[in-house]
Amino acid sequence: MEAQGERLLQDLVTREKTLVAKVDETKAEAEASIEKARADAAKLLAEARAKAEALAKAEAEAAAKEAAAVREAVVRSAREPAEALNATAAANRERAVAAGMEQVVP
């Protein structure tokens, strides 16, 4: 009976050691999985930041081009009336000078 008890005790000790080894192995696997997940997350975050920066840069360049085009269109549309006004002023200047001279020198 004592031999059987000793054998059962040895069996229990062996099973406990096996379980402890399995627990340690599972902990190590879990830590490795967590570390891999962290590395993957860091990689994805870096890729997302790079994409966001590239998109922001492209959007800024497009906005700058559009602003330049609008600015050019505004200048172009203002140029015609200004030139017409300038031509009218130049034409009227000669008449104004002549009229002024008639008033000063009869």
pLDDT tens-digit series, residues 61-81: 999 999 999 999 999 888 888
Q: Higher pLDDT residue, 91 or 28?
A: 28
Whether the per-residue pLDDT at 1 is higher than 90: the answer is: no
3-state secondary structure the chain: CHHHHHHHHHHHHHHHHHHHHHHHHHHHHHHHHHHHHHHHHHHHHHHHHHHHHHHHHHHHHHHHHHHHHHHHHHHHHHHHHHHHHHHHHHHHHHHHHHHHHHHHCC
> What's the pLDDT tens digit per position in 3-42?
888 898 898 999 999 999 999 999 999 999 999 999 999 9
| Arithmetic mean of pLDDT over the chain | 91
pLDDT for 44 equals 98
> How much is the pTM?
0.53
